Amino acid sequence: MWNAPTESFLPVLDREPAFRKYQVTSASDDDMPYLVVHFTPAHIMDHPTYRNWMDRFS
């Protein structure tokens, strides 16, 4: 679980290596998530950095 309650957390989240295994660049389709749940404020969800980060899971 990762918490990004404010925009100041987004650069760290965007670079977090723990997520790379589960993003579209993963070595195996078995590592791709079937479901990602977001519990974050709307202004974070709509932020371009967060949107870019989310897009890497699809």
Residue indicated by tokens 């389709």: 29
Give the pLDDT confidence of 11-22 residue by residue, as tens digits.
988 888 888 888
The answer, yes or no, to whether residue 3 has pLDDT greater than 80, is no
CB 22 within 8 A of CB 55: no
Coil/strand/helix, residue 27? coil
Give the pLDDT confidence of 20-52 residue by residue, as tens digits.
888 887 777 787 888 888 888 899 999 999 999
pTM value > 0.85: no
Q: What is the CA radius of gyration of the chain?
A: 11
Report d(CA 1, CA 53) in Å as an integer: 15
Report d(CA 31, CA 20) in Å as an integer: 10
The answer, yes or no, to whether residue 2 has pLDDT greater than 90, is no
